[in-house]
């Protein structure tokens, strides 16, 4: 151990891998660095062995690769490890960058490691492209032809530079030789930049999930974090082993097993999956030169993040708007990845252009704007000192990482909250400024508009509906997260607030009662006096109603049983039996899922559709609306169950669970009326 610290070389290794101080709260999200280092070492080792048998010639390159696969001992394994680790390399580096963006690792004083990391990404893309061409299959040849032709878009020197890269007037023997040389050299340059990245990171150390200084609470790298790294390293080896053993070509293109033929163009020329987002941006711009600039800018714009992010808080823990738009960036990146693999035709071209514009607008407009909004909300929150309550004068604030006993005692603290203890002259909660009401209104308007456009068959309306629905789910999740924090962590929900929330839920259920009242009114109006067009009969001529004694009866039993289960769960919670309450809630969820499945099966096997007269219209409207309410109620109970697991709810304070239970009993009653009128009497 003494030698490890005093030796000039081993001492350097010791300072980075053994004694390096790291924040004590680092999560598994910080394991990307060790995995990327493992990927780099794996690529260097396997690449050296492959280079021993590879022939850099347009005539023999493909044959030499096949010879490695068939004639060299374990050559197939080395080649598959090299190819699949390249894909995993990109998957991990994308997640590594996403983690850096989520936790603000690009900000001062870690701007230099971030900048070097972006350079590593660009260098990795170049290295991977060069290596992909070396296989010299059909996709390799035509991919090289398309990408290298982009250089010709540069004014004045473009054509000459392209011919210099080719070594002639087309991709051929000199091209393969040069690509092999550059690929082999670039791998070691990449390793040098990785070392520079570690040196720059070592200067100020790693960030942490809280985004605050961790100088007062650090642990040595070994054994605390090296053992954590070993967990993901073992997982990495398992994934590689599965890929090379069972799905070695899962991440590749089948056309690359066809020898390169310059006289035959593939139906669709696409790069490897990890380059598809940038390829989609390239294809989205009609002008060749501007397309190349856009593709390069999509990578280089990452260097500007430390400048474009105007936020005063590190990470996204206290930046809800930035948290939301980061999710939208991830969604747009995945959409670009999908579009890059599709043919250049409508509507994919339009979708690619829209998503590409959004990608750049995210960095140039949304990121600075979101930072300013978050800064404003932060200043408002800090300025409202009368409503900013500390743990000394707010008994409702508790640490949920403490023991179970402390969490069970939460009810005592919450029930002790009174207006005087809140430091204000009333028992109500004055909500802080929040972006969620406005953003929810805008997104709901978009969902409604896209739904109407979908009914009218507008182009891309269904895609807009999908995106807006996803955005709505994310937005509502973040909003509910804030509400949970206010009620369970901050203690803002006094008894008066709880009473008002319960009354609000009752009023909401009353509005739902009115909706189903008019559904039943429409059904009874049509069935009691059937129109002549229906044959003056009910059910109308040609309609074969469902057997009320089959699935509907079973569903009635299931739903009534779920109502009993949720009631049992509630009484268990009131009596302090937390485990019994959780079991009852889980049983309710299971019964609800079975009910939903059977309802869907009933729809599939029904002999009539929604367009079959007024019977089918009202039947599917009523039962479908009820099914939607079952799904909503299941989600509410599932969320309440999770909160039970994490001690958010106690015997004295569980307004969220009570609201879910009220809603579920309403769903039960509606189903009984549906069963009697729609299935039994109406058939």
E strand intervals along 522-592? none
Three-class DSSP category at 344: coil
Task: For the chain, give the number of residues.
Answer: 683
Handedness of CA 31, 34, 40, 42 (dihedral sign): negative
**Pairing assessment for the beta strands 21-23 and 218-220 based on DSSP bridges:** antiparallel
CA distance 396 to 329: 36
CA distance 558 to 554: 6
Q: Are 326 and 101 in contact (CB under 8 A)?
A: yes
CA distance 81 to 390: 55
Q: Which residues pair with 23 in a beta bridge?
A: 218
> Measured between alpha carbons, how far is residue 660 from residues 164, 490, 502, 611, 637 in Å?
69, 22, 10, 34, 6
Q: Are 30 and 41 in contact (CB under 8 A)?
A: no
Q: In sequence order, what DSSP letters do the residues of 474-522 get, joined into one string?
A: HHHHHHHHHHHIIIIIS----HHHHHHHHHHHHHHHHHHHHHHHHHHHH
Q: Which residues pair with 220 in a beta bridge?
A: 21
Cα dihedral: 600, 602, 603, 608 (round 10): 180
Catalytic residues: 202, 206, 228-229, 272
Any idea which residue has 């999770």 for tokens?
642
> Measured between alpha carbons, how far is residue 225 from residues 34, 207, 209, 232, 637 in Å?
10, 14, 15, 11, 37
User: What's 360-388 look like in SS3?
Assistant: HHHHHHHHHHHHHHHHHHHHHHHHCCCCC
Contacts (Cβ under 8 Å, ≥6 apart) of 319: 311, 313, 370, 371, 374
CA distance 164 to 462: 47
Q: Which residues pair with 530 in a beta bridge?
A: none
Looking only at Cα atoms, what is the longest distance across the chain? 100
User: What's 394-440 look like in SS3?
Assistant: CCCCCCCCCCHHHHHCHHHHHHCCCCCCCCCCCCCCCCCCCCHHHHH
Q: Global pTM?
A: 0.60
CA distance 504 to 498: 10
End-to-end CA distance of the chain: 85
Three-class DSSP category at 590: helix
- Which contiguous run of DSSP H or E holds residue 179? helix 173-204
* Angle, alpha carbons 427-433-438 (nearest 5°): 120
Q: Give every residue of the chain whose pLDDT is below 50, as ranges.
A: 384-423
Q: Which domains, ranges and CATH numbers included, belong to the chain?
A: 23-208+220-259 (1.20.810.10), 270-383 (1.10.287.980), 515-683 (1.20.120.80)
**What helix, strand, coil percent values describe the chain, rounded to 5?**
70, 0, 30
| Helices 75-102 & 111-134 angle (0-180, nearest 10) | 150
| Helices 138-149 & 158-166 angle (0-180, nearest 10) | 150
Q: Are 610 and 535 in contact (CB under 8 A)?
A: no
Residue 137: other Cβ atoms inside 10 A: 24
Three-class DSSP category at 220: strand
Rg (CA), the chain: 31
Q: In sequence order, what DSSP letters do the residues of 436-481 get, joined into one string?
A: HHHHHHHHHHHHHHHHHHHHTT-TTHHHHHHHHHHHHHHHHHHHHH
| pLDDT reported for residue 681 | 79
Long-range contacts from 544-549, C-beta under 8 angstroms, 24+ separation: 544/607, 544/608, 545/679, 545/682, 545/683, 546/602, 546/606, 546/679, 546/683, 547/683, 548/675, 548/679, 548/680, 548/683
* Angle, alpha carbons 188-190-192 (nearest 5°): 75
Give the model confidence (pLDDT) of 188-214 as tens digits.
999 999 999 999 998 888 888 877 777
Handedness of CA 123, 124, 127, 132 (dihedral sign): negative
Instruction: Report DSSP state, residue 7.
Output: S
């Amino acid at each position: 151990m003494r030698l490890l610290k005093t030796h000039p070389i081993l001492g350097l290794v010791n300072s980075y891998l053994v004694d390096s101080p790291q924040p004590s709260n680092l999560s598994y999200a910080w394991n990307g660095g060790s995995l990327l280092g493992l990927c780099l070492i794996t690529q260097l080792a396997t690449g050296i062995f492959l280079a021993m048998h590879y022939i850099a010639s347009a005539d023999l390159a493909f044959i030499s690769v096949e010879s490695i696969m068939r004639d060299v001992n374990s050559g197939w394994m080395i080649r598959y490890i090299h190819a699949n680790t390249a894909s995993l390399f990109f998957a991990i580096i994308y997640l590594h960058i996403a983690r850096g963006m989520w936790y603000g690792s690009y900000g001062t004083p870690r701007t230099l490691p971030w900048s070097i990391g972006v350079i590593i990404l660009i260098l990795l893309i170049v290295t991977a492209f060069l290596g992909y061409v070396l296989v010299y299959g059909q996709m390799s040849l035509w991919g090289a032809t398309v990408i290298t032709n982009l250089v010709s878009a540069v004014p004045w020197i473009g054509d000459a530079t392209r011919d210099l890269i080719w070594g002639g007037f087309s991709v051929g023997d000199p091209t393969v030789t040069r690509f092999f040389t550059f690929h082999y050299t670039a791998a070691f340059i990449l390793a040098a930049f990785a070392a520079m990245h570690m040196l720059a990171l070592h200067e100020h150390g790693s960030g942490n999930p809280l985004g605050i200084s961790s100088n007062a609470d650090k642990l040595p790298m070994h054994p605390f974090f090296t053992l954590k790294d070993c967990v993901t390293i073992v997982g990495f080896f398992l994934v590689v082993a599965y890929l090379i053993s069972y799905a070695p070509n899962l991440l590749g293109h089948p056309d690359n097993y066809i020898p390169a033929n310059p006289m035959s163009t593939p139906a669709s020329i696409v790069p490897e999956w990890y380059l598809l987002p940038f390829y989609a941006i390239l294809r989205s711009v009609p002008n060749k030169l501007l397309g190349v600039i856009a593709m390069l800018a999509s990578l280089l714009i990452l260097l500007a993040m430390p400048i474009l992010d105007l936020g005063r808080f590190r990470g996204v823990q206290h930046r809800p708007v930035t948290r939301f738009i980061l999710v939208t960036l991830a969604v747009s990146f995945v959409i670009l990845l999908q579009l890059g693999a599709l043919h250049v035709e409508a509507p994919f071209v339009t979708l690619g252009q829209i998503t590409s514009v959004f990608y750049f607008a995210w960095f140039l407009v949304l990121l600075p704007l979101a930072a300013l909004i978050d800064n404003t909300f932060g200043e408002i929150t800090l300025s409202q000192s009368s409503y900013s309550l500390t743990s000394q004068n707010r008994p409702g604030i508790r640490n949920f990482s403490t023991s179970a006993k402390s969490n069970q005692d939460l009810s005592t603290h919450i029930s002790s909250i009174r207006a005087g203890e809140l430091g204000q002259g009333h028992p109500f909660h004055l909500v802080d400024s929040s972006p969620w009401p406005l953003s929810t209104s805008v997104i709901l308007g978009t969902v409604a508009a896209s739904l109407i456009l979908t009914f009218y068959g507008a182009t891309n309306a269904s895609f807009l509906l999908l995106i807006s629905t996803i955005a709505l789910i994310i937005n509502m999740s973040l909003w509910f997260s804030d509400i949970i924090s206010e009620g369970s962590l901050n203690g803002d929900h006094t008894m008066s607030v709880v009473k008002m929330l319960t009354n609000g839920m009752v009023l909401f259920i009353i509005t739902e009662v009115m909706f189903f009242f008019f559904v039943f009114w429409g059904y009874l109006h049509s069935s009691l006096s059937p129109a002549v067009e229906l044959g003056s009969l009910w059910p109308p001529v040609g309609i074969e109603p469902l057997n009320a004694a089959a699935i509907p009866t079973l569903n009635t039993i299931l739903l009534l049983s779920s109502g009993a289960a949720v009631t049992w769960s509630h009484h268990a919670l009131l009596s302090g039996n937390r485990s019994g309450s959780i079991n009852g809630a889980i049983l309710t969820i299971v019964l609800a899922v079975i009910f939903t499945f059977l309802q869907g099966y009933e729809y599939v096997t029904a002999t009539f559709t929604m367009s079959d007269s007024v019977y089918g219209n009202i039947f599917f409207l009523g039962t479908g609306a009820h099914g939607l309410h079952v799904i909503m109620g299941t989600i509410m109970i599932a969320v309440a169950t999770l909160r039970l697991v994490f001690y958010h709810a106690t015997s004295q304070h569980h307004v969220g669970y009570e609201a879910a239970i009220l809603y579920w009993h309403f769903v039960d009653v509606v189903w009984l009326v549906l069963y009697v009128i729609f299935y039994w009497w109406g058939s």
